[in-house]
Amino acid sequence: EPEVTQTPSHQVTQMGQEVILRCVPISNHLYFYWYRQILGQKVEFLVSFYNNEISEKSEIFDDQFSVERPDGSNFTLKIRSTKLEDSAMYFCASSDEVRGTEAFFGQGTRLTVV
Amino acid sequence: GENVEQHPSTLSVQEGDSAVIKCTYSDSASNYFPWYKQELGKRPQLIIDIRSNVGEKKDQRIAVTLNKTAKHFSLHITETQPEDSAVYFCAATPGGYSTLTFGKGTMLLVSP
């Protein structure tokens, strides 16, 4: 069964450093998402991406964040200058249809900012 | 934007009992309502979903009901087993794109 894969599984970084989280969506999917989950809290939407541009973003997704699809398979989330409160599990997801098809989640990247 | 409320936050049942988790949503344009199960440290996994043109859907021990008028939907698990223990999240799409708005989650504990 195809899966969304994310690397690394765990990233520790110092406050103020830049991090790039990587995702390989399912190959025939066209819609890509980043979500985050602070420990013990609900999953929160960050950004959606379609046709090489951002479709929608939440208020969490400020100027410190950016997304990119650098090639035909990878989808990345960059945090320019990490803050302590950016520590969370970041999930990538993909889907093949707008309006309500199953979003497949990756296994997540745990980001710890120290 | 969409707002999803989920209750209860924790639910403890004995093995074999039924469990019911309830969610309400605010945006009448929402049309897709998935339920995810998340085991500790793992990815959310879809267990069942329902679309706004259907009132009820069942898959073995799991069922979901939707009341569009009242804007609420519920997850029902019958004959619970210890391996059902996890955090369950409901979600709704606000429309336009498949962006999911999640509830805060319910920790289900099934005791043998």
The answer to whether B44 contacts A43, with C-beta atoms less than 8 Å apart, is yes
pLDDT, tens only, A33-69: 999 999 888 899 999 998 889 988 999 999 999 999 9
Q: What is the CB-side half-sphere exposure of residue B106 using CA atoms within 13 A? A: 27
A98/B contact by beta carbon, under 8 A = yes
Q: Give yes or no for B94 touching A (CB within 8 A).
A: no
Between vectors from CA A13 to CA A39 and to CA B100, what angle results, nearest 5°?
A: 40
Say how many residues make up chain A.
114
The enclosing H or E element of B57 equals strand B56-59
Q: Are B36 and B46 in contact (CB under 8 A)?
A: yes
**Is residue A85 left, alpha or beta, with left meaning phi > 0 and alpha meaning psi from -120 to 50?**
alpha
How far apart are the two ends of chain A, measured CA to CA in Å? Answer: 36
Q: Are A7 and A72 in contact (CB under 8 A)?
A: no
Chain A, chain B: beta-carbon pairs less than 8 Å apart: 67
Pick from A43, A99, A108: CB nearest B93: A99
Inspect the interface and report whether the beta carbons of A99 and B43 lie closer than 8 Å.
Answer: no
Looking at residue A96, its pLDDT comes to 83
* A106 to chain B, closest Cα gap in Å: 6
The residue written with tokens 């073995």 in the block is B60
For A24-35, how does the pLDDT look when each residue is reduced to its tens digit (9 = 90+)?
999 888 899 999
B103 touches chain A (CB under 8 A): yes
Give the tens place of pLDDT for each residue, A73-114.
899 999 999 999 999 999 999 988 665 567 889 999 999 999
Of the candidates A45, A100, A107, the beta carbon closest to that of B32 is on A100
